[in-house]
Amino acid sequence: MSWSAGPFWVANSFAGNPTEVSYVPNIMVTTESEMNFLQRLINFLINGAFSIIESISCYHYGNFYDEYVQEFNLKDMPSFDDMRKNVSLVFCNSHFSEGPIRPNVPAIVEIGGIQIKDKPDPLEPKLKEFLDNSSKHGAILFSMGSNVKVSTLDPKIIKTLYNVFSKLKQNVLWKWEDPNPASFPGNSKNILFSKWIPQDDVLAHKNMKLFVTHGGKGSVVESQYHGIPMIGLPVFGDQPGNIDKIVKVGYGLKLDYKTMTEQELSTAVNEVLNNPSYAANVKKFADTYKDRPLSARESVVFWTEYVIRHHGAPHLQSPLVHMNVIQQYSIDVLAVIFGALYIVYRISKLCICFVWRKVFGKKCKSKAKAKKSKKE
């Protein structure tokens, strides 16, 4: 199984990976490694909500699958529940150097940065010439990913972006989805509009100095890997959390793309370009991120072949996969312990009362009865 984020929710469920809600934050709550009480409470509730959603989803898809099996008379097919409890490996798009630090079972294999090539592909002539000619002041990449079309944004936002980028000394490579030159917001010599940009290959170019990004997981990882500082313009999902973390560790800055002014954007761009600490911080992380016994792609090959060699590698599977919520959190054990303690308490009380009567010839009175008798 392949999971597009770090060990979380569905990935944990399929691999039997523990969900440590007390110190592993959900990215929707915070990026802090140490949560205060309110954050831990929200983290607990959100993870609980996801668990309920997962249970409902599995029940729904389980019924759909069983109906499909019956309809086509596939008697040899295992049940949906058996299949989801028979996952050998879960490849997660993460790496422990990114944090948060958390325990992972052997069936969780982190392959963060797998989309990044060991050696960049050659750029098409137009892009290569544009970036090669940026050696004096450097180049900036601006892209909002594949889900947000910059050309369809509010014209005021586009105008703000263009007015700032067109005044820079640096060359700006701008991902613009409409190939018609008439749709471009301007024709500044330092801006190249391109419908498609091989982002990993571009960020690997020696003249790249800054990435203005929406903050998607893949974009952030590629920028970190190549040691390029960022300015984040998050839109939705995990993007705000990704950029918050970037700001916290000193890899870049964050702006609200809907409300930012030309002055705010210009100040942020010049701050990241002219303050060497941002580039130094992210390059230091890049060295840590790349320092692995196997590359992400080599890890996929090794562990896939490992599972094949060991016929599914059942020895990697966590017992947690086969346990329900009551068993996972030892609710049944705690119930027995508290029940036993209550029985011991009642027996001890009867024994003490028995001894009291024998010694003093009086009955034991509870505090409630004692107070009642005093009032009377």
Phi-psi category of 9—alpha, beta or left, where left has phi over 0 and alpha has psi -120 to 50? left
CA 178 to chain centre: 31
Range with lowest mean pLDDT among 78-82, 262-266, 302-306: 78-82
Q: How far apart are CA 160 and CA 147, in angstroms?
A: 21
Q: How far apart are CA 199 and CA 145, in angstroms?
A: 9
Question: Residue 211 corresponds to which tokens in the numbers above?
Answer: 């990435």
Torsion of CA 131, 137, 139, 142, to 10 degrees: -150
Q: Which of 80, 39, 85 is nearest to 60 (CA)?
A: 80
Residue 372 has pLDDT above 70, yes or no: no
Q: How far apart are CA 362 and CA 357, in angstroms?
A: 5
Strand partners, 173: 141, 192
Instruction: Say what percent of the chain tops pLDDT 90.
Output: 64
367-to-356, 371, 372 alpha-carbon distances in Å: 16, 6, 9
Question: At residue 2, what are phi and psi to the nearest 5 degrees?
Answer: -115, 135
Looking at every residue in the chain, the average pLDDT score rounds to 90
- For 149-155, the CB contacts below 8 A with 24+ separation are 149/177, 150/174, 150/175, 150/176, 150/177, 151/176, 151/177, 151/178, 151/183, 152/177, 153/257, 154/258
Question: Residue 135 corresponds to which tokens in the numbers above?
Answer: 């050696």
What are 302-359's pLDDT values in tens digits?
Answer: 999 999 999 999 999 999 998 888 898 899 999 999 999 999 999 999 999 988 888 8
74 vs 212 pLDDT, higher one:
212
